[in-house]
Structure 1
Amino acid sequence: MTVAMPIQQRPRSARRMDVPGASLQLLPGASYAVRVTPSRPRIGFAFETQRGLHAFGSDRLKAFQASANSMAYTPSGCDIVSHSETGGEYLVVEFTDPLAQSGSEQFTGRVIPQSIDIARLLRCWLLQMDPVDPLETEYALERLKASVFGCENATDGTIEPGRWMTTRRLKIIEDEVEARLNTQVSVETLACALGLSSGFFSRAFKEATGKPPHDYIIERRLARARLLISTGEQSLAEIASACGYASQAHLTSQMRQRLGLTPGALRERS
């Protein structure tokens, strides 16, 4: 049973899909407050940086920050309390088999590079909401479970103090990207914001988030474009320009490649 305590109304509704072996849900980037005890094991994937307070199996709330591309796993029966004033786009995969990975321990804020492309594929399916081949879903879910529960190259998305890309430095980069989304923001520009060479910055950023900085820039541009398409009245050409794209065609190409649908199709479904 889930008891939601919204801080403010979500601008867009969550998308849900039941597939063989799991239930998928894509939560929009918005403030939230939730208390839930899942009856089935679940994996969560943050497409955007998450900050707020949470607790697992306890009422003692702790401040958290997990980077974009980080994951969480909660076994069935583990109480979850979480809230954030900003939230972020988030994928929830709840396995229909209550015994799936029943021996695994809860974790949060872990970056698992092998899982990122799988999570993005599941997001495509949720955005398109078209029938999916059961064999494809089974294969994707098995790959996801293998990457999460058999991972050897996972890094901690909460960014421990000993790592160079600290929480404060990552926040500087995130703010810089958001402020420059309507321009041709470059990796060199971001590196300069921290007084680093592009090479060192790229390596540090990838270690912290699981993906290189140019990939993060693309994801943020598309997130801004999706928000404007779903909630605004600007033309698609104006939206493309506002998100740093040289043309509407460039936005269309990148959105189709990453999300599996065009800006026009997204507007029709909003």
Structure 2
Amino acid sequence: MQLEIVHPGRYTAPETFVQTTLFVHVGLCLGGLDYMNIAPPGGGEQLKLTGAAAPFLTMIPPGARVDFRFGRKRENWVIQCRMPELIPVAGACRQQLEQDGSLLCFPYMRRIKAGHALPLRERFALVVSLWQSGTPANRIAAEWMTVGICGEMFAEEEPPDREGTTPAARLRLAIDADRGFRKTLAELSREAGASAGFLRKCFRRAYQLEPAEYRARRRLGRIMELIDRNELSLKEIAEEVGMRHVTHLHAFVRERCGVTPGELQKQRGRSS
């Protein structure tokens, strides 16, 4: 699937707006929505959403008319991108994606479980931070991560391991629960009920990702969340994510994003 990011962002200001989309909008709505009405390109049946639908994902094609109002508790993320294989269905809030000679058909919106909202939020935050770093490698990584987010729209049901019924899922849930990153992977593996070596193999097979890399991405997502809140110093953020020294935070963020935490704060319109 070809995908080229034009602009990703997070939006929190109250707003009433009507727009015609110029690009594909891959979005995550977490709260603050009063209403959102989406009409397909050329007109037809409308998709009408209220705050009761949140949290939900959207993938809206170019040329759609979007009429929305968000209140003061707004939080939504939008990745604007080009996807040449995306084909809107005339007169309906559905679209098709051409892939290997087949057409996948899916709606503009998909509800997600509340427990899955935070991991998705962190994935959107990571896309934004990688893209804003400006380095070619990080921008490619952001686009690949967006492809993965789009994959959530195609799934017809929750993956069977999401409730922790497999060894890999139990380890993933243990990592997710360690919000302060105080435990080692060996300790988390014991909580998941198996050896670290065995769980590593299961995790790689299930998610095509090393457990350590998954944990690092979660940690980066948490760092981005804390920077975005603008409530803590960099030293306090380091402590919140299990780092003993702020120098560890600087090294971690620079390695992952190509910029320092202070530069990320400035990119998000704040001073360090």
Residue 6 of structure 2 is matched in structure 1 by 23
Normalised TM-score (structure 2): 0.51
Q: 1:165 aligns with which of 162, 165, 181?
A: 162
Deviations 1:62-88 (A, max 9, x none): 95777xxxx8643224466899x9987
- Residue in 1 aligned with 2:43? none
**1:165–1:205 contact (8 Å) kept in structure 2:** no
1:179-204 C-alpha deviation (Å, 9 max, x unpaired): 63334333444455554555458746
Partners in 1 of 2:254 and 2:216 — Cα distance?
A: 13
* Secondary structure at the counterpart of residue 47 of structure 2: coil
Distance 1:213 1:78, change over 3 A: farther
Per the normalisation by structure 1, the TM-score is 0.51
Whole-Å Cα distance in 1 between the matches of residues 209 and 67 of structure 2?
Answer: 28
Amino acid paired to 1:253: A
Task: Evaluate the alpha carbon distance shift between residue 31 and residue 63 of structure 1 in structure 2; reply closer, same or farther with a 3 A threshold.
Answer: farther
**1:254 equivalenced with 2:252 (yes/no):** yes
Unaligned runs of 5+ in 1: 1-20, 111-116
2:81 matches 1:94? yes
Alignment-derived partner of residue 115 in structure 2:
none
Which stretch of the first structure deviates more once superposed, 186-195 or 169-178?
A: 169-178
Alignment root-mean-square deviation, CA: 5.6
Partner of 2:117: none
Q: Distance in 1 between matches of 2:226 and 2:6?
A: 28
Residue 254 of structure 1 deviates from its aligned partner by 1.3
* One-letter amino acid matched to 2:260: T
Question: Would the alpha carbon gap of residues 162 and 242 (structure 1) be closer, same or farther in structure 2, given more than 3 Å must change?
Answer: closer
How far apart are 1:251 and its partner, in Å? 1.3
Percentage of matched positions with identical amino acids: 17
- 1:219 is aligned to 217
**What is the CA–CA distance in structure 2 between the aligned matches of 1:55 and 1:193, rounded to whole Å?**
45
Q: State the shift of 1:163 in Å.
A: 1.4
> Of residues 76, 89, 93 in structure 1, which corresponds to 2:62?
76
**How many residues get paired?**
218
- The structure with the largest strand share of the pair is 2
Task: Provide the residue aligned with 2:22 in structure 1.
Answer: 40
Instruction: Find the residue that maps to 1:25 and give its secondary structure.
Output: strand
Local SS of the residue matching 1:59: strand
What's the counterpart of residue 17 of structure 1? none
> Structure 1 residues 36 and 202, CA, compared in 2 at 3 Å: closer, same or farther?
farther
Match of 2:231 in 1: 232
